[in-house]
Structure 1
Amino acid sequence: MSGFKKFLFRGNLVDLAVAFVVGAAFAGLVKDFANSFITPLIALLGGKPDYTRLTVTINGTAFPYGVFLTSAIAFVITATIIYFLVVLPTAKLIERMDRGKEATERECPQCLSDIPVKARRCRYCTAEIVPATETPY
């Protein structure tokens, strides 16, 4: 039983559970934002974007492709909102925060592995390297 307790309370499992709950709440937020603002804007331009009633009938069997089309449009709208309101601002914020940091690693000119800036020898290919703080002369 103690192994099961350890499994349940491991950090990454709890983090995953929290991320799932926050993600579900965020998905509802994005969906409501799209329904409240984006869908009406699309309706202003080209009519109501609800294609759920579109079907194709082959040999008496109806294929409701409109349901998929409506879901695909909702997915594209949601992905666009996520990109422009979450991903892009977060990337710019991280870039600003990392601007003043000094590099701690550099690329080995021989094997292209990441090595410490002050290294004299690559730990992967063992090539001798001039440290970045010294001049090569």
Structure 2
Amino acid sequence: MKNFLKDFKAFAVKGNVVDLAVAVIIGGAFGAIVTSFVNDLVMPLIGAIFSVPDFSTLSFTVNGTAIMIGLFIQAVVNFLIVALSIFMMVRALNRFKKKEEAAPQAPPAPSKEELLLTEIRDLLKERK
């Protein structure tokens, strides 16, 4: 049991897990913002264009069962906005990473043997 708790603590404290937790929390908050944007701004505009005052009530019935097509369309619009936002963010990060990779790297530092050989060469040059 001690090993299990020790392993779990090592797992939970790793940077990746903490980063993931932060991303989930921010993603949830972002999802709420997008939902509000769609429900309060986009869908009323679409409803005004199609003369439907409340787009979420748009439905049809099949054998007495209401099919809420308006709610489905709102969910699709939510998804598209979130997907587009994430795509744009990942695209920007990829461009930033490419710029970092394209930057020229400094040549590696000479090894101890090379430094010693350079000193010997310089000493031999001085003797001549």
Query: What TM-score results when the alignment is normalised by the length of structure 2?
Result: 0.57
Q: 1:86 Cα shift?
A: 5.1
Q: Distance in 1 between matches of 2:11 and 2:90?
A: 32
The number of aligned residues is 98
Is residue 57 of structure 2 the alignment partner of residue 54 of structure 1? no
Higher helix share: 2
From 20, 36, 40, the equivalent of 1:36 is: 40
Q: Name which of structure 1's ranges 35-44 and 77-86 shifts more when overlaid on structure 2.
A: 77-86
Q: Do 1:55 and 1:64's aligned partners in 2 also have CA atoms closer than 8 Å?
A: yes
Relative contact order (alpha carbons < 8 A, sep ≥ 6): 1 or 2 greater?
2
**Structure-2 residue corresponding to 1:77:** 77
Mapping of 1:43-122 within 5 angstroms?
43-46=47-50, 47=52, 48-51=54-57, 54-57=60-63, 62-66=64-68, 69-85=69-85, 87-88=87-88, 91=91, 94-95=94-95, 98=98, 102=102
**Structure-1 residue corresponding to 2:120:** none
**Structure-1 residue corresponding to 2:19:** 15
> Taking structure 1 as reference, are residues 100 and 24 closer, same or farther at Cα in structure 2, changes over 3 Å only?
closer
Q: Distance in 2 between matches of 1:13 and 1:93?
A: 20
Unaligned runs of 5+ in 1: 105-137
Q: Distance in 2 between matches of 1:9 and 1:89?
A: 26
Query: What TM-score results when the alignment is normalised by the length of structure 1?
Result: 0.54
- Identity among equivalent pairs (%): 28
Q: 1:78 Cα shift?
A: 1.5
Higher strand share: 1
